[in-house]
Amino acid sequence: MLPVFNEYIKFLKDRTNNDKALEFLTEGHYWVDRQIIKVFDKKGNFHKLFKINIAKDLSVSIKPYSKMYTGEIESWVQTFIRLKDQLDRLEEESINLLTKHKNKDRIIIDTNSTGKDSMVKTYLANKADLEFTTYFNVTTCDVKDSNQMAKENEFQFIFPDKKLKGFYNYRKKDNVIPSRLNRFCCTLFKENPTIHNFDSKEKLLFLFGMRNSESSARSDYTDEWVNEKWGKRRDWLGILPIRKWTDLDIWLYILRENIEINTKYKKGYDRVGCGIVCPNYGKSTWVLDKYWYPTMYERWQRILKEDFLSNYKWISVHCTLQEYMQGAWTGGLLRPEPNTEAIQEFAEYKNITYDIAIKYFDRHCINNCKGRTGKLLKIKNKDELAMNLKMFGRNIDKFMCKKCLMEYLNIDENRWNQYIEDFKRSGCDLF
């Protein structure tokens, strides 16, 4: 749920080239929710007007609903006036929770990402007259809007470990892309830096902006919350003063109280953290990235292409380069079996025949070796697969994992690496 601001209206008109269909759209009345533009009527009922469709190539089109509402619509101001009692009750409950911890023996730490929830929570903490310091985590992959907003509000910056040298350097050094299955970013660039920034012996109270309605994982959170990563030795406590608020509550309160918001929201984003690289984003975010932050977007596209080619992601993701860059990079197999297009593209890239290329896909160790999860070990590394083909011939159908193959050949790690370097140097097209 997001108010439709002028900046987002500009984006829609530019990308759809359909000014006529959108000529009625003005700031102050409309909402966008899961790519559907909606309005409230005077009785508080939602009505769907348009569906925003985003294709794989990030082209944008708008389709009106067949029975589009044409009656009177309610402005944002009229909506928060109508829901005044609800907003007042939420505000009172939140301030009461914050006030309970006033003048106690804990140092109050306010964490603020410059997102809407963070800004409302900080605003309420000020209303409760708490004494606190606000901190902002520099993730090194946020857009300028967020960093600049934190700077202008004089938030204290928490930087990641210097050894990481920022997100992009860490990603390149460890040859890793964040995914839904491997979300290292929050741990390395938010949670750990925050933990290490404060004295473990001090009694701290953290103000967090998590809400029950954000996800099923947070639906059972209570007013008090302790991060298990803090460990038992730290006497730290977190409270969640806005956990009962919905998206709509947050936005109406922001509009009513005229609370500053991150300009990314005005551009159409429903989240403002981790610009460009977050695997939890999708087409609705990527199309905005391409429009509003083209330099960052193109940089990430180049990184994805380099990652795909250098790590032979045809084998591990079962997709083509285009499919990978259009979203398959976010995690897991794109499809259970590789399709013809992926195998053919891999064959052309390697300059080998289709019949040889297909042997690189879906291979398990003949000795039924198992991985960490207890499942049969799948051989995904192209050098391991190439070594099997090199040592036993290109017509083989049974493969060994690296460990079994080294034992069979009676070689150690150094000799293994030397073999691979020699084969590559000789120009063997299998490697």
Q: Which of 181, 168, 249 is nearest to 209 (CA)?
A: 249
Same domain, 62 and 109: no
Domain-ending residue, one of 190, 225, 245: 245
Q: What is the mean pLDDT of residues 99-121?
A: 94
Same domain, 325 and 390: yes
pLDDT of residue 257: 98
Same domain, 172 and 114: yes
Whether 19 shows a pLDDT value over 70: the answer reads no
Same domain, 227 and 118: yes
Same domain, 100 and 121: yes
Q: How far is Cα 84 from Cα 78, in angstroms, rounded to an integer?
A: 10
Whether 336 shows a pLDDT value over 70: the answer reads yes
**Would residue 282 count as lying in a domain?**
no
Same domain, 70 and 7: yes
**Would residue 398 count as lying in a domain?**
yes
Split into its structural domains, the chain has a count of 3
Q: Which amino acid is at 346?
A: F
Domain-ending residue, one of 214, 245, 276: 245
* Residue whose token pair is 């064959």: 347
Q: Mean of the per-residue pLDDT values for the chain?
A: 94
pLDDT of residue 363: 94
- Helix, strand, coil percentages in the chain from 3-state DSSP, rounded to 5: 45, 15, 40
**Would residue 140 count as lying in a domain?**
yes
Same domain, 119 and 58: no
Q: What is the mean pLDDT of residues 400-406?
A: 96
Q: What percent of the chain has pLDDT over 90?
A: 86
Strands 204-207 and 107-111: what pairing?
parallel
**Would residue 389 count as lying in a domain?**
yes
Same domain, 150 and 26: no
Whether 422 shows a pLDDT value over 80: the answer reads yes
Express each pLDDT in 88-106 by its tens digit: 999 999 999 999 988 789 9
pLDDT of residue 181: 86
Same domain, 89 and 203: yes
**Would residue 189 count as lying in a domain?**
yes
What per-residue string of b and e applies to 36-51 under the rule 16 or more CB within 10 Å gives b?
Answer: ebbbbeeeeeebebbe
pLDDT of residue 356: 96
Least confident of 58-62, 368-372, 392-396: 368-372
**Would residue 256 count as lying in a domain?**
no
Domain-ending residue, one of 56, 75, 94: 75
CATH number of the domain residue 161 falls in = 3.40.50.620
Same domain, 87 and 180: yes
Express each pLDDT in 354-374 by its tens digit: 999 999 999 999 999 998 888
Express each pLDDT in 134-166 by its tens digit: 999 999 999 999 999 999 999 999 999 999 999
Same domain, 89 and 147: yes
**Would residue 291 count as lying in a domain?**
no
Express each pLDDT in 178-224 by its tens digit: 998 888 888 999 999 999 999 999 999 999 999 999 888 888 899 99
Same domain, 395 and 376: yes
Domain carrying residue 162: 83-245
**Would residue 260 count as lying in a domain?**
no
